[in-house]
Amino acid sequence: MSTTMFSPACRVLAIGLLLGGFQSIVRGQTTERTSSIRATATGTVNLKPTLLRLSVPIKVIAETGWEATENLRTVRQSIVERVEQMGSIDGSLKVFGFHCGPNQSSSISSLRGEVKPTFAAKCFVVADFVLRDGEDHEETVGRSQEQLRELASLLPKTESGRRSYSISSSSLPIGLTSQQLQEPLALFVAKVSDEDRAKAFQIAIDSAIREARSTFKGLGIEPSSMSFSQSPEYSSLRQAHPLEAALIRGKSDEVSGIYADQVPYTVRVSVSGQFEPADMKW
């Protein structure tokens, strides 16, 4: 079971209120008008990461598709061998997202008659490493960046000659840009226990109910009924991208983040309270 680390109060974020429109319900000869107030809240617990997940995208450009594919095979093999030498967890190494087609930048230039069109072959290598016990956060981040630099040194030079080795988005997976997905990056992975889920859910539901009741009180009415719903734990802006699928790996018992000291696990819930407009005092 994972070790749970809570922020100052396992903070609750992004609370919103929506006043629902009127709805007409016909029952026999009587028309009843009902409305609702919805409060949405998130509950977050911060977890201690136990795994380091490295992602290395490989792109090889050549004059023909066959040559690009063969060169990709050579580079990919050198990356895989080095990842295994670094001590990746057995069975965690994945190679996926193979693709070969016309190189987009050269295709645009070729239309202008500037250069001969080329082909680009691509794939991704993702592998997990156990975080060392007793290692402080600075050492963990430094080691992950050094590993990425070493693996990136095996890649063909990019057109700009520059590569980044980290990402700056505030959360995962939402917030990653296409450019960030194409660069070597390091993620920290934490296990989510049943206790963690229950804690985050309780924070979210308590906050949503509190906000809904506060609004009802301000309006001077009492809800006739209350209901709640939970949003999906994972929502991607690019669900079709192969890298996101590999980074998340479809496991509901783990969560990824960019910080070595803690990985946030968040639950979002909505509470809806029904009432009759006739009960309102204004």
pLDDT at residue number 64: 93
Q: How far is the first Cα of the chain from the last one, in angstroms, to the nearest whole number?
A: 53
pLDDT at residue number 166: 43
Cβ-contact 24, 31 below 8 angstroms? yes
pLDDT at residue number 116: 75
pLDDT at residue number 114: 58
* Stated pTM of the model: 0.72
pLDDT at residue number 254: 86
Give the tens place of pLDDT for each residue, 151-202: 999 998 754 444 444 433 333 444 456 676 778 888 899 999 999 999 999 9
pLDDT at residue number 193: 94
Closest CA to 76 of 126, 146, 143: 126
Calculate helix-pair angle for 137-152, 65-85, nearest 10 degrees.
150
Please list, in sequence order, all residues whose beta carbon lies within 8 angstroms of the beta carbon of residue 106, skipping any fewer than 6 positions away.
61, 115, 116, 117, 118
Cβ-contact 37, 216 below 8 angstroms? yes
Low-confidence ranges of the chain (pLDDT < 70): 1-34, 105-115, 158-178, 180, 232-242, 244-245, 248-251, 277-282
